[in-house]
């Protein structure tokens, strides 16, 4: 995750992948036409994006739920800023499901004015860091580093910028948006309740059986084997499939296996004060393997 001019560029304070987005395209997002029915999933990277993308897709597309639809997750819920499939957004049927890692101030104006819906998923930043680190080994677009990545992460010199800035920004501007905040840890603790919470927020009524199907298809074990929900189709130029999969461990508290006491102290030194002011509670120790 070392910053490299070749792969990352900075735009309005945030780092983006240079081969999949341009500053002009990012500029154009300000006027992106938001529909009331749009559903945005916003996350800081490695916080459970693909998991929630899959949940939303399972809630919305029966064909995915009952296994008859062979569409990649990336096509069911494309990325706003990384429009790698060149989606023509204006032609897309409602409700449009859209994923993004953007900070609150770079999302379309319409969204900031309360149109559409946003689901913001956040995760204990120590687990985010560990997941990031492992992802940097899987991705060929991020330079592999050892755990010195931690200093870059603490400094916000990583993809999508500083975790604290991202979370604080969205949290402080929550009243501007029609937004639901969820944590990775609560999804992990009680997936069914989280699915129901999402359905409730979206005004989507599913039968008990349908909810069971969503939950069943969103478990780590099921998703790990689900080609459509993985990045299995990505070429070996982009990722190294021999070095593990995108769905790695899927647990809460893996940071304890990775960070030394000194690293943990250093992390707390930078994060603790600002984190205490956030209106979110994280579960740091849950061990659900």
| Cβ count near 66 (within 10 Å) | 12
Q: Please tell me whether residue 202 binds ligand A3P under the rule CB under 6 A.
A: no
253 binds ligand A3P (CB under 6 A): no
Name the E strands within 46-166.
97-100, 117-122
Separation of alpha carbons 41 and 57, rounded Å: 11
Q: How far is the CB of 38 from ligand A3P (least distance, A)?
A: 20
User: Taking contact as CB under 6 A, which single stretch among the options 12-20, 110-118, 208-216, 243-251 is the one that binds ligand A3P?
Assistant: 243-251
Q: Per rule CB under 6 A, is residue 218 in the interface with ligand A3P?
A: yes
Q: Is 257 helix (H, G, I), strand (E, B) or coil?
A: helix
C-alpha to C-alpha distance for 155 and 240, rounded to whole angstroms? 27
Category of 24 on φ-ψ map: left (φ > 0), alpha (ψ -120 to 50) or beta? alpha
43 is a contact residue toward ligand A3P (CB under 6 A): yes
101 is catalytic: yes
- Angle of the 163-172 helix axis to the 125-138 helix axis, nearest 10: 130
Minimal distance, residue 269 CB to ligand A3P, in Å: 23
Q: Should residue 81 be labelled a site residue for ligand A3P when binding is judged by CB under 6 A?
A: no
In whole angstroms, the minimum distance from the beta carbon of 5 to ligand A3P comes to 24
Pairing of strands 8-11, 179-183: unpaired
Site stretch for ligand A3P (CB under 6 A), options 18-26, 158-166, 204-212, 215-223: 215-223
Of 112, 140, 241, 248, which one interacts with ligand A3P (CB under 6 A)?
A: 248
97, β-bridge pairs: 39
- Work out which of 8, 47, 126, 213 binds ligand A3P, going by CB under 6 A: 47
* Residue 23 near residue 11, CB atoms below 8 Å: yes
Q: Which residues are near ligand A3P by CB under 6 A?
A: 43, 45-51, 127, 131, 134, 218-220, 223, 247-250, 254
Q: Which residues are catalytic?
A: 101
């Amino acid at each position: 995750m070392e910053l490299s001019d070749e792969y990352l560029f900075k735009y309005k304070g945030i780092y983006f992948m240079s081969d999949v987005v341009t500053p002009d395209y990012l500029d154009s997002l300000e006027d992106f036409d938001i529909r009331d029915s749009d559903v945005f999933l916003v996350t800081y990277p490695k916080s459970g994006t693909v998991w929630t993308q899959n949940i939303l897709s399972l809630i919305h597309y029966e064909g995915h739920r009952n296994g008859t639809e062979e569409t990649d997750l990336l096509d069911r819920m494309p990325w706003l800023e990384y429009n790698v499939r060149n989606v023509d957004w204006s032609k897309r049927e409602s409700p449009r499901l859209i994923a993004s890692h953007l900070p609150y101030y770079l999302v379309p104006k319409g969204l900031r004015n309360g149109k559409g819906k946003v689901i913001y998923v956040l995760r204990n930043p120590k687990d985010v860091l560990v997941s990031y680190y492992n992802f940097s080994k899987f991705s060929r677009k991020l330079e592999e580093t050892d755990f010195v990545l931690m200093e870059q992460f603490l400094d916000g010199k990583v993809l999508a910028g500083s975790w604290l800035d991202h979370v604080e920004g969205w949290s402080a501007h929550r009243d501007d948006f029609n937004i639901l905040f969820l944590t990775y840890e609560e999804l992990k603790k009680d997936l069914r309740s989280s699915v129901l919470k999402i359905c409730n927020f979206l005004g989507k009524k599913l039968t008990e059986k349908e909810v069971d199907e969503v939950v069943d298809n969103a478990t780590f074990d099921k998703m790990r084997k689900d080609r459509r929900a993985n990045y299995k189709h990505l070429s070996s130029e982009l990722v190294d499939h021999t070095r593990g999969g995108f769905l790695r461990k899927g647990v809460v508290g893996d940071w304890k296996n990775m960070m030394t006491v000194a690293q943990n102290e250093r992390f707390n030194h930078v994060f603790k004060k600002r984190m205490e002011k956030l209106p979110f509670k994280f579960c740091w120790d849950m061990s659900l393997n």
